Amino acid sequence: MTFNSETSGLQESDSRSASESSVATKEVALKVEGLTKQFDAAEDAVTAVDDVSFSVPRNSVVGLLGPNGAGKTTTIKSILGLVKPDEGDIEINGVDARANPHRMHEHVDAMLEGARNDYWRLTVEENLRYFAGLSGTDPTVANERYTDLLEKFDLDDKRDVVVRNLSRGMKQKVSVASVLASESSIVFLDEPTLGLDVESTAVLRRELTKIIDERDLTVFLSSHDMDVIEAVCDRVIIMEDGRIIANEQVDALLEMFDRQRFEIEVEGLDNDVRSTIERSFPTAEIESVGDRIQVAVSVGDDGFYSLMSHFQQYSVSIVDIATGTPDMENVFLELIGRDDD
Ligand SMILES: Nc1ncnc2c1ncn2[C@@H]1O[C@H](COP(=O)(O)OP(=O)(O)OP(=O)(O)O)[C@@H](O)[C@H]1O
Summarize pLDDT for 34-70 with one digit per residue, the tens.
999 999 876 778 999 999 999 999 989 999 988 888 9
| pLDDT given at position 3 | 37
Residue 321 pLDDT class (50, 70, 90 cuts)? very high
Task: Determine the residue of 36, 40, 44, 72 to mutate for testing ligand 1's pocket, defined as the one with the most ligand atoms within 8 A of the Cβ atom.
Answer: 72
User: What is the interface pTM, i.e. ipTM, of the complex?
Assistant: 0.97
- Take atom 28 of ligand 1 and give the residue whose Cα is closest: 69
**pLDDT beyond 60 at 141:** yes
Fill in the amino acid letter for 167: S
Task: Determine the residue of 36, 68, 82 to mutate for testing ligand 1's pocket, defined as the one with the most ligand atoms within 8 A of the Cβ atom.
Answer: 68
| pLDDT given at position 18 | 37
Q: Output the pTM of the full model.
A: 0.74
Higher pLDDT: 289 or 29? It is 29
> Which element (helix H / strand E) includes 173?
helix 168-181
What are the residues facing 90 on neighbouring strands?
32
pLDDT, tens digit, for every residue of 225-278? Answer: 877 888 889 999 999 899 998 898 988 877 766 678 899 999 989 999 999 999
Contact indicator for 218, 29 with CB cutoff of 8 Å: yes
**Is residue 45 helix, strand or coil?**
strand
Residue 288: φ, ψ to 5°:
-80, 135
- For residue 45, the tally of other CB atoms under 10 A from its CB is 9
Average pLDDT over residues 309-332: 86
85 CB near ligand 1 (under 6 Å): no
Average pLDDT over residues 79-88: 93
Residue 4 pLDDT class (50, 70, 90 cuts)? very low
| pLDDT given at position 266 | 95
| pLDDT given at position 52 | 97
Q: What percent of the chain has pLDDT over 70?
A: 87
**pLDDT beyond 50 at 1:** no
Higher pLDDT: 107 or 122? It is 122
- Take atom 31 of ligand 1 and give the residue whose Cα is closest: 69
- Take atom 27 of ligand 1 and give the residue whose Cα is closest: 68
d(C-alpha 155, C-alpha 161), whole Å: 10
**pLDDT beyond 70 at 21:** no
| pLDDT given at position 135 | 67
- For residue 19, the tally of other CB atoms under 10 A from its CB is 7
Q: What percent of the chain has pLDDT over 90?
A: 38
